[in-house]
Amino acid sequence: MALSRGSRGRRALILVSYLALLVASYYPISTEPWGHVTFIGDSLESAYIVAWNAHQVLADPWHLYDANILFPQARALAFTDHRFLPSALAAPVLWISGNPILAFNAAVAIGLLLAAFGARRLALGVRVLADPPTSRTVTFLPQGLSSGAHLLVEGPGRRAYLVTVDPLTGRVATRRLDT
């Protein structure tokens, strides 16, 4: 599918907007991404595993799970998340820079940008009807309660789903509607 010049310009503007939001939301980390790690779960463990995977893919890919942690346990990396996708995203940055923190932050940034583009594409193809219209915003409380809602979600191909949020438990239930 060939993109027109206007379409390319619009996508470039959207990308620049998402990049600006990314930099602003991760300030002050975004001013020095090679020295500060983003906090997502156990960030240092994640940065280590991403760096290990990028290293081991070149050094000895048949022993990827034999990480140099939890000695003398063999295949110690099997006890945690493998993080192959972030490692694949971060490996070129690590190989060029040699900095695992910069590589991890780059993987987080790429993942967030891909999620933003995916959410945008989904939002453009989905129509949400709420009854009443104010129930489009659902509030979840720490006690497990919610404001409750009934949403009719219509996607591509005119497929419709009823999404219900129980006000007492906060549980979300979905059901495809036959049209």
In this predicted model, what pLDDT tens digit does every residue of 153-162 receive, in sequence order?
A: 777 777 777 7
Residues 167 and 108 in one domain: no
What is the pLDDT, as a whole number, of residue 49? 86
What is the pLDDT, as a whole number, of residue 97? 93
What is the pLDDT, as a whole number, of residue 178? 77
Amino acid type, 122 = L
Which of 106, 124, 142 marks a domain boundary?
A: 124
Order of strands, edge to edge, in the sheet holding 172-177? 127-130, 149-154, 160-165, 172-177
Mean pLDDT of 31-51: 80
1 belongs to a structural domain? no
Residues 31 and 92 in one domain: yes
- Contact criterion met (CB below 8 Å) for 79 and 87: no
Percent pLDDT > 70 in the chain is 78
75 belongs to a structural domain? yes
Helices 84-97 and 100-125 pack at an angle, to 10 degrees, of 130
Residues 86 and 117 in one domain: yes
Residues 114 and 146 in one domain: no
- Contact criterion met (CB below 8 Å) for 134 and 160: no
173 belongs to a structural domain? yes
Residues 134 and 164 in one domain: yes
Amino acid type, 13 = L
Residues 158 and 100 in one domain: no
Question: Domains in the chain: how many in total?
Answer: 2
Mean pLDDT of 57-63: 89
The C-alpha atoms of residue 103 and residue 51 are separated, in whole angstroms, by: 8
The C-alpha atoms of residue 27 and residue 162 are separated, in whole angstroms, by: 39
Which domain range does residue 160 map to?
126-177
